[in-house]
């Protein structure tokens, strides 16, 4: 039986900022479409604060929400209290589908990336040419561990800054 893979999906500024704590600090419609395409049919593992910032379950995907509050619940969310439980819930959800999809998505935010990045096999990153003064940060990654490939660059148009899509793949593959 094929293993499951944890894939991190993130949009990050040049200085590693991913948001201001309650939402994103940019609006990139093209990136939102890409995130939808990348994650459709997958379980999304996210922190309770990211769930609150989205405000609803995203269609066609499971929303697995990490919280330390054992009594927390919300319509459309699968609540879990640890990363191990999140991964187990994601695998269970995938197994209940047609079984062809093997990816679980590490969806953020900062605390969940910090907790789960060491278990990811891939990072689908959008790197945006902005440097917000402050915000929630994405953890540092070492070129020793990751191969980094630029897939596509979009140059600045109007209010939309330059951004590029990068795929980072673990040099030594890991599965969950
Ligand atoms: N740019 C991007 O790609 C991207 C993606 C996602 C999110 N974001 C941004 O990231 C920001 C939110 O990030 P954040 O770091 O503040 O919050 P977060 O990671 O979304 O959520 C933090 C919450 O998750 C729960 N949690 C964390 N670690 C846990 C653990 N080990 N076990 C169980 N529960 C755990 C806790 O919930 P309780 O307090 O309920 O216990 C904690 O308060 C927002 O600005 C959002 O827009 C950006």
- Cβ atoms of 164 and 126 within 8 Å: the answer is yes
Place of tokens 């040099």: 171
pLDDT tens column, 38-94? 999 999 999 999 999 999 999 999 999 999 999 999 999 999 999 999 999 999 999
> How many domains, the chain?
1
Domain-located, residue 176: no
Domain-located, residue 102: yes
Whether pTM > 0.95 for this model: the answer is yes
Domain span at residue 135 reads 5-170
Q: CATH no. for residue 25?
A: 3.40.430.10
Q: How far is the CA of 88 from the centre of ligand 1 (A)?
A: 19
Helix (H, G, I), strand (E, B) or coil at 75: coil
Q: How far is the CA of 53 from the centre of ligand 1 (A)?
A: 10
- The residue whose CA has the least distance to atom 37 of ligand 1 is 67
pLDDT tens column, 102-137? 999 999 999 999 999 999 999 999 999 999 999 999
User: Environment class of residue 79 by beta-carbon count within 10 Å: exposed (0-12), middle (13-18) or buried (19+)?
Assistant: buried
Q: How far is the CA of 155 from the centre of ligand 1 (A)?
A: 30
Domain-located, residue 175: no
């Amino acid at each position: 039986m094929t293993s499951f893979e944890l894939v991190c999906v993130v949009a990050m500024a040049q200085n590693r900022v991913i948001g201001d704590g309650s939402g994103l600090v940019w609006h990139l419609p093209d990136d939102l479409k890409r995130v939808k395409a990348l994650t459709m049919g997958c379980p999304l593992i996210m922190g309770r604060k990211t769930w609150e910032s989205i405000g609803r379950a995203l269609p066609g995907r499971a929303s697995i929400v990490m919280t330390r509050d054992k009594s927390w619940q919300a319509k459309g969310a699968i609540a879990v209290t640890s990363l191990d439980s999140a991964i187990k819930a994601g695998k269970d959800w995938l197994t209940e589908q047609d079984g062809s999809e093997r990816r679980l998505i590490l969806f953020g935010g900062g605390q969940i990336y910090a907790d789960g990045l060491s278990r990811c096999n891939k990072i689908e990153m959008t790197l945006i040419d902005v440097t917000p003064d402050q915000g929630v940060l994405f953890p540092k990654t070492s070129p020793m561990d990751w191969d980094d490939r630029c897939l596509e660059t979009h140059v600045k148009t109007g209010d939309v800054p330059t951004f590029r899509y990068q795929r980072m793949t673990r040099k030594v593959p890991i599965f969950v």
